[in-house]
Amino acid sequence: MTDEKDLPRDNTSGVDPRLLEVLICPVTRQGLAYDRAANELISPKARLAYPIRNGIPIMLVEEARDLDMAASEKGPSE
């Protein structure tokens, strides 16, 4: 049995890099991009950003941030 402390971890996010490789968007079933600055997983096709809390990706559509809404809140190009 593998001890959790033996698993490699991304020290900045606390998320196992192997986990990030296998996660997919629950809406599109496609891969996700990692946004290190926002600590989110981005689904470009679904235009959603899934949060990562305490090193755990929250892969629920209800918890995801709508990227189109975020863009519209900024207003016209600044």
Q: What's residue 25's pLDDT? A: 97
Confidence of residue 7 (pLDDT cuts 50, 70, 90): very low
Does this model's pTM top 0.75? no
The beta strand positions in the chain, using DSSP E, are 33-35, 40-43, 48-53, 56-57, 65-66
What is the DSSP annotation of 52-69? EETTEE---GGGSEEHHH
Confidence of residue 14 (pLDDT cuts 50, 70, 90): low
> pLDDT tens digits, residue range 22-76?
999 999 999 999 999 999 999 999 999 999 999 899 999 999 999 998 677 766 5
